[in-house]
Copies of this chain bind each other. A is one copy, B any other.
Amino acid sequence: MTRKKVKLAFIVNDAARKATYKKRKKGLMKKVDELTTLCGIEACAIVYSPYDSQPEVWPSPWGVQKALAKFRTMPELEQSKKMVNQETFLKQRILKAKEQVKKQNKDNREKEMTLLMLQCLSAGKLLHDNLTMVDLNDLAWLIDQNLKDVDRRLETMNKNSHMTPSQAQMIAPVAKNEYMTPVDHGHGFDMNVDTMQKQWFMDLINNNGDETMPFGDVNLQNGFCPNPLLP
């Protein structure tokens, strides 16, 4: 039942490797078949393995010979060109993979920070003794993002509902403009950048985490709690 994503590496287990070989060779053959049929082109595949005494070819030895003949008509220079193309392709794939890893890490980071923020809200304090400055900076950024979101919603409410601005403010009193300034994120931690705009955050990390939270006005006024997960 395909427990996990198969990692692209040599399969050590002999039986599993052979089983995979059989299945995938069949699948590959089918793909070649489909490509030629769907697109009306010529193609062939050659597989040489210890499981078969001879190379296995598709769609037929004749087809292979034909394709090969064409390939051989290529001047050496052209063949080299193709080779370079192949190399370029691999480089592109590597680059793309790296980009994906980068994006994945970014997403993971954001999720971590969301979790951390929620834990902080639950505990009523920041457990910053275990956090690095980078963590705190990222957390600050995330919270700012959330605050901006709250602010946007507030504006929408003020414009579209029958609620007065002051009533709306009472629902989310922390969403004050002084906290809305964009944070210069992604360039490492810098205590000197935007410090004044993140006053609430600075206040927080300069104390010991067991006093009023920036969100205290909402429902955690006296937020300290012996059980870190139960407000």
User: A residues bordering B, Cβ < 8 Å?
Assistant: 6, 8-11, 17-18, 20-21, 24-25, 27-29, 31-32, 34-35, 37-50, 54-62, 64, 67-68, 70-71, 74, 78-80, 82-83, 86, 89
Please, how many angstroms separate the alpha-carbon atoms of A42 and B38 in the complex? Answer: 26
Q: Can you add 14 more A-B contacts, CB < 8 Å, to A9-B37, A61-B80?
A: A8-B37, A10-B37, A17-B38, A21-B35, A24-B35, A28-B32, A28-B35, A35-B47, A42-B47, A43-B46, A45-B45, A45-B46, A55-B71, A57-B71
Query: Which residue of chain B has the shortest Cβ distance to A9 in the bound complex?
Result: B37
Q: Which chain B residues border A46 with CB–CB below 8 Å?
A: 43-45, 64, 67-68, 71
Q: Tell me the bound Cα distance from A27 to B203 in angstroms.
A: 54
Q: Given the interface contacts A45-B45, A71-B55, A78-B54, does A39 sit within 8 Å of B24 by beta carbon? A: yes
Contact A9 B38 (CB under 8 A): yes
Measured in the bound complex, the distance between the Cα atoms of B45 and A38 in whole Å is: 17
Residue contact A45 to B44, C-beta cutoff 8 Å:
yes
Picked from B18, B47, B62, B70, the residue with its CB within 8 Å of the CB of A43 is: B47
19 intermolecular pairs with C-beta atoms under 8 Å apart: A8-B34, A8-B37, A11-B39, A17-B40, A21-B35, A24-B35, A41-B49, A41-B50, A43-B47, A46-B71, A48-B70, A55-B74, A56-B82, A57-B71, A57-B82, A60-B83, A61-B79, A64-B68, A68-B68
Question: Closest 6 interchain pairs by CB?
Answer: A41-B49, A43-B47, A46-B67, A21-B39, A61-B79, A42-B48
- CB neighbours of A40 from chain B (8 A): 10, 17
